[in-house]
Amino acid sequence: MNYPVNATVPLTGERLRQTFQHHLGFEVIPFKRTREALLAHVPKEVPLTITASPAKGQDATIDLAVELTGDGYSVSPHLSAQQIRDRGHLADIVARCHEAGIAGAFVIGGDQTGTRTKFHDAHGLLAALHELDHGFTDIGIGGHPEGHPAVSDEALFTALLKKAPLATHITTQIVFDPKIIARWARELTRRGIDLPVYVGVPGAVTRQKLLRVSGGLGIGESANFLKKQQSLLWRFFVPGGYSPDKIIRGLAPHLGEPDNHLAGFHVFTFNDLEPTEEWRQQAFLRFPQQASSSCPVRPVVGRPDPERP
């Protein structure tokens, strides 16, 4: 929705209900029993993405994506530049996806695996993908609201500008601070990157598991953020201290503002599917009762946030 600059946007229950129903998906890892767990606990209407596990390889991701599409799920496999060997391998993957009716893909650079590949990064893979009759109607790329320890912020924004014309949406890595995400989303808009942004949030996983796996699943910087912020770390471990609700409540007022393109949420389940789906179902009922206030639209496009560290 496009709201006038000085309007007040009602944080209505219906707005959050629509977010949970249509703009929230689950990310899963292609383990041996992933399909079994999904069929047992996750409804078909929940969109899924499947990671490209360095341990399992790219083909395991496509195998599971094909199976789950046949089961009736809407599935987007990760396509990793570090796991797809060459254009022939990419063409085979595209053909399998097309035959199975898979309409989405998520293109990443990926971690180095020892596989000899012709693709140096996500942009190279995206460019090769668009030289094929790929048939995908939805192509996602990754975003780094907290930055990257080995890459400057300017280089990250430049890379997004380069990839954006070849994609249809951005999904972020996990960030625990809604202010960081909102500030980053406004900066995207200022730089002319207008793709919808889906915010990565951890699902209803245990605190110990989240910190244990964070370093290897693309959320290491957020784990470091927690470690640096002792008060937040303490809240994360006390009973009831962590819930995806907190991140979503913090960002809900920004959805639909004219200075960003925040569109929904992407839940990193870490394959804890039963508790994460239980959380989604409860939140679907709970948030409308909690969302009774109004939130002013803040036109801050192009202005630095005074809280920037």
The answer to whether 247 and 209 have CB atoms below 8 angstroms apart is: no
Domain boundaries, the chain: 8-296
Q: What is the pLDDT along the chain (309 residues), one digit of tens a residue?
A: 222 233 333 444 566 666 666 678 999 999 999 999 999 999 999 999 999 988 888 999 999 999 999 999 999 999 999 999 999 999 999 999 999 999 999 999 987 777 788 998 999 999 999 999 899 999 999 999 988 877 899 999 999 999 999 999 999 988 888 999 999 999 999 999 999 999 998 887 776 666 665 544 444 444 444 444 444 444 445 455 567 887 888 888 888 788 999 998 999 998 989 989 998 888 777 765 444 333 222 222 222 222 222
Total-model pTM: 0.81
Tokens for 77, please give them: 């496999």
Across the chain, which distance is largest between two alpha carbons, in Å?
Answer: 54
Instruction: Please name the fold of domain 8-296.
Output: TIM Barrel (3.20.20)
What string of DSSP letters covers 209-264? HHHHHHTTTT-HHHHHHHHH-HHHHHHHHSTT---HHHHHHHHGGGTT-TT--EEE
Q: What is the pLDDT of residue 186?
A: 96
Q: What is the pLDDT of residue 188?
A: 96
